[in-house]
Structure formats: structure tokens, C-alpha cells
């Protein structure tokens, strides 16, 4: 997968794209992560990329020319046409389902703004998706882009050491994850649940499923409407 991020602050991405799982995925050649400063594509001698809004009012608006020019200057996509993703609070709320959908793509382009708005022609004629990472307002799209790229890259084949770990994640099953424990079996008088020490695989699986269901019921009951529960699980949850 190729990921290109258009931003006025490429330095913000250095640590995130170069460290931990993303850094390793990049080193292994599983993903190409690039940042492009679209100020380099400004078409005026002052290097500005924003301008006053037509019709008046406060705030500045990102001009279309540098954004279109930067996207058009990217190396051509080899396979499918790229998804061009605009980060903004008005976008569709990003979910694990969307991460899974984007992980199937070959080329993602992210547009990060820092101003009052984007010229509407960017939305209409360049962008394929508008995404928000939640109902709050950030100072810019960069951190939202990092969140989305992280959650997509970790789903790419070969990125996580143990491929299973993406399968049992919270949300990929539609439920929140069950509690995890490691050694010691007793810490400050707090014990690991007996069933996990029993070595009885079927009982462990049953306990984990029940804990997942309980945790989802208590913390995110809205998620239960979207998962298919067996009749047995439905009765168990009602008890
Ligand atoms: N830019 C500003 N706030 C944002 C949000 N919540 N999600 C995505 N991009 C944003």
C-alpha cells in the first residue's frame, strides 16, 4: 500500500511514521508512507495556500490550486485509482469497519487542513471520502490522519507479528475485548481468574466470550444491536 499525506506540517509525522509498528511496516516494505508539503505547490510569490472567503466573514479558506497541483504531481497509482481522503469534523465518523475497507486499497491520499475551511471545489472534484475521527474539533487534520493510517496499516498482511491479534481485536468481532492477564498468578493479593489457569480450553473460550459480552453490555450497549448473538447468548445476557 502507498500512503501520501498532504500537510503543511510534515515534521509532525516523522516520529509516528518512523516508530514502532508503522516504522517496522515501512522498513519491511509493506507500506510506503510519504508526506508532501503542499506549500511547495503554492502558485504565488508569498507561498500562501489560503485566502479570504468570498462573501466575507472570518477565517481563511484553503485555495484549490496547491492541493490539486500536489495531488496531480504524485507518482501515478499502479492499480486501482486512489482514495482521496479529506480530514474534517463534518466527515463520516471513522470506524473499524472503515479501517478494514481502506486496508483493501492500494493507494490512499490524505488531505490535512489547518484553516477555517477548504475551498468547496476540493471536496467536489478531488476528494472521494470525508472522514472525522470523532465529534470534537482538532486544530488540524494531521492527528486524525495519523490515527487513521495507524489503524489501517496494522491490518495489512504481515504487519502485526501475530496475525491473530487483529482478528480478536475489540470491534473486529463487533464486541469489546475480554480481559487479559499474564504472570504472576497473584499480584498484591489480586488473583487471575481460576478458569484461565485451568488449562481447559473450552472453558477459557466460554469465559472469554461471556466477558466480551458483559463488557460490551456495560460499556457500549449500542454495539450489541449490530452483532449477531446466538439464542443462548441472548438469554445469558438478559439474566
Ligand atoms: N480536523 C479537525 N477536527 C477533526 C476531526 N475531529 N476529525 C478529523 N479531522 C479533523
DSSP string, 163-176: THHHHSSTTTSSSP
Q: Is 221 helix (H, G, I), strand (E, B) or coil?
A: helix
Choose the catalytic residue: 169, 177, 210, 233. Answer: 169
pTM (2 d.p.): 0.93
Ligand 1 cavity residues, CB under 6 Å: 87-89, 132-134, 136-138, 141, 144
Nearest CA to ligand 1 atom 8: 132
**Residue 232: per-residue pLDDT:** 87
Q: ipTM > 0.85?
A: yes
**H-helix or E-strand spanning residue 97:** helix 96-102
**Residue 115: per-residue pLDDT:** 66
Classify each residue of 28-39 as buried b or exposed e, where b means 16 or more C-beta atoms within 10 Å of its C-beta. eeebebebbbbe
**Residue 170: per-residue pLDDT:** 76
Domains and CATH numbers, the chain: 2-153 (3.40.1280.10), 168-238 (1.10.1270.20)
**Residue 106: per-residue pLDDT:** 97
Q: Which ligand 1 atom is nearest residue 113's CA?
A: 1
What stretches in the chain show pLDDT beneath 50?
none
Which residue, 104, 65, 97, 63, is CA-closest to 83?
104
Whole-number Å distance between alpha carbons of 211 and 20: 30
Contact 35, 149 (CB under 8 A): no
Amino acid at each position: 500500500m502507498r500512503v501520501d499525506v498532504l500537510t503543511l506540517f510534515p515534521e509532525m509525522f516523522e516520529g509516528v511514521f518512523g516508530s514502532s509498528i508503522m516504522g517496522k511496516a515501512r522498513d519491511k516494505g509493506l507500506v510506503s508512507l510519504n508526506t508532501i508539503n503542499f506549500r511547495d505547490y503554492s502558485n504565488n510569490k508569498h507561498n500562501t495556500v489560503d485566502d479570504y472567503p468570498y462573501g466575507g466573514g472570518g477565517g481563511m479558506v484553503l485555495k484549490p490550486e496547491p492541493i490539486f497541483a500536489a495531488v496531480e504531481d504524485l507518482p501515478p497509482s499502479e492499480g486501482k485509482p486512489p482514495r482521496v481522503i479529506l480530514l474534517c469534523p463534518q466527515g463520516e465518523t471513522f470506524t473499524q469497519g472503515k479501517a478494514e475497507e481502506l486496508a483493501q486499497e492500494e493507494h490512499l491520499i490524505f488531505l490535512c487542513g489547518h484553516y477555517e475551511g477548504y475551498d468547496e471545489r476540493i471536496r467536489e472534484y478531488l476528494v472521494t471520502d470525508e472522514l472525522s475521527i470523532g465529534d470534537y474539533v482538532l486544530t488540524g487534520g494531521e492527528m486524525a490522519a495519523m490515527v487513521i493510517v495507524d489503524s489501517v496499516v496494522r491490518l495489512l498482511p504481515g504487519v502485526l507479528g501475530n496475525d491473530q491479534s487483529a482478528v480478536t481485536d475489540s470491534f473486529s468481532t463487533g464486541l469489546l475485548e475480554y480481559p487479559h492477564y499474564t504472570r504472576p498468578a497473584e499480584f498484591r493479593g489480586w488473583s487471575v481468574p481460576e478458569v484461565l489457569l485451568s488449562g481447559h480450553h473450552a472453558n477459557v473460550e466460554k469465559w472469554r466470550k461471556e466477558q466480551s459480552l458483559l463488557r460490551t453490555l456495560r460499556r457500549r450497549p449500542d454495539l450489541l444491536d449490530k452483532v449477531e448473538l446466538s439464542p443462548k447468548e441472548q438469554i445469558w445476557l438478559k439474566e
